[in-house]
Amino acid sequence: MARFSVPTTARLPSSLRVDASNAAVHKSLNRLSRESLISLALDWLDDGSLPNAIPYMERRDEDEDEENEDIYPPCSSIEELQQLYLDMQQQKGSKRDVTSRILEGDWRHGLTLYQLAMVDMAFFEQNPTSQRWSAYQILPLKQPSPNPDGEEVLKVDHKSLTIPRFHPSTFLQNLQTQVLPDVKAHYHFHRPRELPVLLLRIFVIDSPYNTDFALSSRGSAGTATNFDSSRTVYIAFPDGSPALYITKSQATGPIGLGESKSLQSLIVDGVPKALSRPRERYTLKTGNLTSKNLDALLEKKGSGRTNAAGGGWSIYADESNKISPLDTILPSPPLSRESSSSSISTKRPAQLTESQRAAKRARLMAKARFGDSGIVTDGKGVERVDIVIQDPYPSTSADLDESDGGEDEQGGTANKAGKRRQSTIDAVIREADTADHDDLGKEPGASQRWTPSVKITLSGTHVWAGVRQLVEAGIIDGERMPGWMTGEEGVTTSLVRHGRIRGHRGSGL
């Protein structure tokens, strides 16, 4: 421990140790499997990690009696310790033996913050759905313009195509300036093996010091009170995408809801400032997309072609499918693909019953509405969707007026289906004309009509795959189903008006 500590604004060093007897350390290691613990110990003994994970080694001046009484005698060299864990990989045993070897033997003097960060990252590799992520968009801001009161007004520049340049060391240096002086943070980057993202683990503790004194404050029970009040937040930076994903803060011990939200707001406010440069400012806008599945977030808010091609539009995002409605060359007929006439059956197919025809029609309708999305085995499912429908209650007089107007335009020759189709088109046109006035409450006639608030919650392991199965089973009418029920808007929480997600001209984007 340092002889004296001075309050500072620097971040916590990776070599700062946490006592091996701390309950949080035991809990972190016990989450991993035996194989993961051994692999993690070997990573600590690697040349790149060794300066921040130095083990307890044998000293030449130690008494032989003390060495004989030790349950886990210390090794004399790093190579000997590496060989010991390599031998443990080939042997059978329990996870408890490996945990005891680490905490009571080779790292009995404590684990560093760097080691604890690697433990959390190993647990994430073992359980990729252990965190709940919220997507945010990185949007450029216009140059500040003063308002009549003399204050600067910052507005989002929707026409700008600039994106921030991300360099890890520069980003951390700028982010550290946004941290409060009585709070210290430790940062750790990690790149998962199977995901195109860069993870940043932020460990936050309430202390003005960045030495061992920050973790040495003891409570009445003899535990480190500062470490028990620590919080951890994860940020994921997808490759080649102006977006990022943030988790809620997780506390080692009991923590209030207000403290968790305050840390979340500090992260959301500090990250765009760390990405900004002179005359190039950015802000974060929530994407209304939350899930435990990072693959689902990468599909909707990643660098691929599926960001705005959900639902039935997903067939055009598939690079292997070159069929486009804009092609000038028609595809070859199916019969011309047959090389021989022997494969063409001369038997008449069996007549389908009405129930079979209905089932086939439902499957084709599900294929048309969902395309290549909403498949149970695609691994891109969201667990929960919350939608609030805020459509004004239909007015009987308005409906009668619309029906009369439709009859006048069609000369009284249109049937009921034609009238219903005409009113739907009119509703879409009215929605497009009044999209800019929705937020201001200037929609004509909306203030005089009662608007019930209807909330729909869909939950499951794969919500959109479940809706697709309901369409295939004929339980949901695929023809009249609104587009947001296919997941094409790429949101899990939003408002629906006139059957469409509220957003930029009726889109969830």
Residue range 123-149: average pLDDT? 88
Of 464, 467, 472, 468, which is closest to residue 490 (Cα–Cα)?
Answer: 464
pLDDT tens profile 323-380: 666 666 766 665 555 554 555 556 667 788 888 899 999 999 999 999 889 999 999 9
Distance CA 95, CA 37 (A): 8
Chain segment 186-245, per-residue pLDDT in tens: 999 999 998 999 999 999 988 877 777 667 655 544 445 567 778 899 999 999 889 999
d(CA 138, CA 286): 9
Dist CA 4 CA 11 (whole Å): 17
Topology of the domain comprising 305-321+353-391+451-509? Ubiquitin-like (UB roll) (3.10.20)
List the beta strands (DSSP E) in 427-501: 454-459, 493-497, 500-501
pLDDT 10s digits, 409-437:
444 444 444 444 444 434 433 443 454 45
Which of 358, 300, 351 lies closest to 479 in space, CA to CA? 358
Mean pLDDT value of segment 3-18? 79
434, 506 contact by CB (below 8 A): no
Bigger pLDDT: 154 vs 140: 140
* 481 within 8 A of 369, measured Cβ to Cβ: yes
Judge whether 122 and 264 are in contact, CB under 8 Å.
Answer: no
User: Count of alpha carbons within 13 Å of 261, Cβ hemisphere only?
Assistant: 3
pLDDT of residue 111: 93
| pLDDT of 215 | 73
Provide the pLDDT confidence category of residue 267 given band limits of 50, 70 and 90. confident
Q: Please count the CA atoms within 13 angstroms of the CA of 299 that sit on its side-chain side.
A: 25
Nearest CA to 113 out of 245, 222, 9, 202 is that of 202
Task: Give the per-residue pLDDT at 336.
Answer: 53
Query: Is residue 471 within a helix (H) or strand (E), and if so which, with residue range?
Result: helix 463-472
SS3 191: coil
Q: Which long-range contacts (CB under 8 A, 24 or more apart) does 337-345 make?
A: none
Cα separation, 195 vs 234, whole angstroms: 15
Closest CA to 483 of 436, 428, 430: 428
Can you tell me which residue has the tokens 């429908």?
389
Residues above pLDDT 90, as percent of the chain: 41
Q: For residue 279, what are its two tokens? A: 């005359």
State the Cα–Cα distance between residues 122 and 54, nearest whole angstrom: 19
Answer yes or no: is pLDDT of 21 > 70: yes
Q: What percent of the chain stands above pLDDT 70?
A: 74
Average pLDDT for 391-401: 65
SS3 108: coil
For residues 406 and 419, is the Cβ–Cβ distance under 8 A? Answer: yes
Whether the per-residue pLDDT at 1 is higher than 80: the answer is no
Hey, which residues does 203 pair with through a beta bridge?
Answer: 186, 232
Q: How many whole angstroms separate alpha carbon 285 and alpha carbon 372?
A: 28
For 106, other C-beta atoms within 10 Å of its C-beta total 21
Integer Cα distance of 506 and 501 in angstroms? 6
- The confidence score (pLDDT) of residue 5 equals 62
Overall average pLDDT of the 395-409 stretch: 51
Q: For 87-130, write each residue's pLDDT tens digit.
A: 999 988 889 999 999 999 999 999 999 999 999 999 999 999 99
What pLDDT, on the 0 to 100 scale, is given for residue 256? Answer: 58
Q: Take residue 91 and report the two structure tokens written for it.
A: 């042997």
Predicted local confidence at residue 324, as pLDDT: 65
Residue with tokens 């189709």: 421
pLDDT of residue 333: 62
Mean pLDDT of the chain, nearest integer:
80
- pLDDT of the residue at 508: 45
For the chain, the structural domain boundaries read: 20-109, 133-301, 305-321+353-391+451-509, 397-448
pLDDT at 85 over 80: yes
Round to whole Å and give the CA distance between 48 and 498: 58
Higher pLDDT, 60 or 316: 316
Q: Mean pLDDT throughout 300-318?
A: 81
> How is residue 213 written in tokens?
């004194």
Supply the pTM of this predicted model. Answer: 0.80
Note the pLDDT of residue 318: 73
